[in-house]
């Protein structure tokens, strides 16, 4: 599978060359992240390649929120890093069988997952961002979750982060100050 590389500055590299035109061509390519990539790198990606803003109707709102955040220091002690995770969950016993497939962005602290919905963008931007693993659950059993290596393409990366950010868009009046 062809791959694309994301730099901390939000640039895409294909065959070690900076992508200068048509980033939509690379949406299906496997994504690799530089070890120094943060959530801020995701927003820099959107700034560098405005065509990618069309992939999610809320991304322009997220970009506006990003531009209002401080230029540095957007971290918190409760989370060591962020990771994109893929989940495959078999459902239906008892009942009709089904399968749920989804991607989520989650926080990690000392090898434990922690939700990030209660944190605001200005708390998350400078946290390291990684590509996580696939979690396989059978019939909702979170105790017997199997984990596997997986690949994320550029579209899944963008869509997964946008999905998570859609839960962070409460009015300022509802914020709990940390």
Per-residue pLDDT reduced to its tens digit, 100-112: 777 889 999 998 8
Q: What is the mean pLDDT of residues 135-140?
A: 64
Lateral strand order in the sheet of 3-6: 17-18, 12-14, 3-6, 30-33
Supply the pLDDT for residue 171: 46
Contact 135, 146 (CB under 8 A): yes
Residue 175 has pLDDT above 60, yes or no: no
Supply the pLDDT for residue 136: 65
Q: What is the mean pLDDT of residues 48-61?
A: 92
Whole-structure pTM value:
0.85
Residue 1 has pLDDT above 70, yes or no: yes
| 110-131 pLDDT per residue, tens | 988 888 888 888 899 999 999 8
Alpha-carbon radius of gyration of the chain: 17
pLDDT > 90: percent of the chain: 55
97 — pLDDT class (breaks 50, 70, 90):
confident
| CA dist list (Å): 73 to 1, 46, 68, 97, 128 | 36, 20, 13, 46, 12
């Amino acid at each position: 599978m062809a791959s694309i590389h994301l730099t901390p500055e939000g640039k895409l590299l294909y065959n070690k060359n900076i992508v200068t035109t048509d980033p939509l061509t690379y949406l299906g390519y496997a994504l690799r992240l530089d070890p120094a990539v943060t959530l801020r790198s995701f927003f820099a990606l959107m700034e560098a390649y405005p065509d990618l803003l069309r992939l999610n109707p809320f991304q322009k709102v997220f970009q506006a929120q990003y531009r209002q955040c401080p230029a540095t220091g957007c971290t918190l002690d409760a989370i060591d890093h962020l990771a994109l995770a893929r989940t495959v969950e078999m459902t239906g016993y008892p009942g009709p069988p089904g399968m749920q497939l989804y991607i989520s962005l989650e926080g990690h602290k000392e090898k434990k997952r922690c939700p990030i919905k209660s944190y605001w963008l200005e708390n998350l931007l400078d946290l390291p961002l990684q590509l996580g693993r696939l979690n396989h659950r059978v019939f909702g059993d979170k105790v017997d979750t199997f984990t596997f290596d997986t690949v994320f393409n550029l579209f899944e990366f963008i869509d997964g982060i946008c999905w998570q950010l859609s839960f962070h868009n409460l009015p300022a009046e509802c914020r709990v100050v940390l």
